[in-house]
Amino acid sequence: MTGAEGGSTVAEPAGHIDRARLLAAYALPDRVTSRVRMNFVMSLDGAVTLDGRSGGLGDDADRLAMGVLRTLADVVLVGAGTVRAEGYGGLRLRGENVAWRREHGLADQPRLAVVSSALELEPAHPFFADAVTRPIVVTHAASDPLRRAELAEVADVLVCGDAVVDPLAMREALAAEGLAQILCEGGPHLFAALIEVDAVDELCLSLSPLLVSGDAGRITAGGHEHARRLRLVHAIPVGDLLLLRYARAR
């Protein structure tokens, strides 16, 4: 196996993956440099959802990798579309993952942040109601001040940008809160906004052994075309699923 930033592939016996090995494979080079790491699961034919959600695409290996990625993060970030579509919220690390964070001087749980312009998010939504740390809402100066005030009752509100959320300003604002290691769990529109300003440092992609067809979208949606080059850090097959880690090409 190679180090965290190594470039070769790693083979696992079919159906088996060791959590400690994944922690090493996804290790961060440092915790000071602010970075955005994306995590997606995708079918072999490029679908980002099955029945409108991502859950049906993943398996136990993908969920284990997701737990490891969350364990390594200071903040888990999502777009409001994902929160609305998936009833996303209530993220809570347990057992070994919490123990690992304590050993490494981290808070028991990463923070959770949502990016939104419309702020059509109810304070009673599980994202806020089931939160185990105070959630963060990232919005911009032109969003509705009344909705912002309402959400400020249940979350910290960060204003980053004038008419849309500026991802670079957001990264700086999160780092200023001590949240330099950002794990972004989607969705496609937020991913495109991050690619637009070249704010994506890593893509951790689970390639699910499914053909889905239908009209599901890609892992990015909207934005302009760009060619941001990444390099392969690892490719770990677990059974028929492939855990891919790509990092920004220097």
Ligand X SMILES: NC(=O)c1ccc[n+]([C@@H]2O[C@H](COP(=O)([O-])OP(=O)(O)OC[C@H]3O[C@@H](n4cnc5c(N)ncnc54)[C@H](OP(=O)(O)O)[C@@H]3O)[C@@H](O)[C@H]2O)c1
Sites of contact with ligand X (CB under 6 A): 40-41, 48-49, 52-54, 57, 78-82, 85-86, 115-118, 120, 164-165, 185-190, 193, 221
Minimal distance in Å, beta carbon 222 to ligand X? 8
For residues 131 and 216, which CB has a smaller minimum distance to ligand X in the complex? 216
Minimal distance in Å, beta carbon 142 to ligand X? 10
Minimal distance in Å, beta carbon 5 to ligand X? 24
For residues 52 and 95, which CB has a smaller minimum distance to ligand X in the complex? 52
Encoded tokens for 113: 């942040």
For residues 23 and 203, which CB has a smaller minimum distance to ligand X in the complex? 203
Residue 82, Cβ neighbours under 10 Å: how many? 23
Alpha carbons 146 and 18: distance in angstroms, whole number: 48
Identify whether 89 is preceded by a cis peptide bond (ω within 30 of 0): no
Minimal distance in Å, beta carbon 221 to ligand X? 5
87-91, Cβ contacts within 8 angstroms, sequence gap of 24 or more: 87/125, 87/126, 88/126, 88/127, 89/125, 89/126, 89/127, 89/128, 89/129, 89/130, 89/131, 90/126, 90/130, 90/131, 90/132, 91/132
For residues 37 and 101, which CB has a smaller minimum distance to ligand X in the complex? 37
Cβ proximity of 133 and 154 under 8 Å: no
Go through the chain and tell me how many residues it has: 250
Minimal distance in Å, beta carbon 112 to ligand X? 13
Minimal distance in Å, beta carbon 26 to ligand X? 16
Alpha helices, DSSP H, located in the chain: 19-25, 60-72, 80-86, 95-103, 126-129, 145-151, 167-176, 188-196
For residues 5 and 51, which CB has a smaller minimum distance to ligand X in the complex? 51
Alpha carbons 135 and 153: distance in angstroms, whole number: 11
Minimal distance in Å, beta carbon 120 to ligand X? 6
Alpha carbons 230 and 248: distance in angstroms, whole number: 5
For residues 205 and 247, which CB has a smaller minimum distance to ligand X in the complex? 205
For residues 34 and 220, which CB has a smaller minimum distance to ligand X in the complex? 220
Scored b (16 or more CB within 10 A) or e, 198-219 reads: ebbbbbbbbbbebebeeebeeb
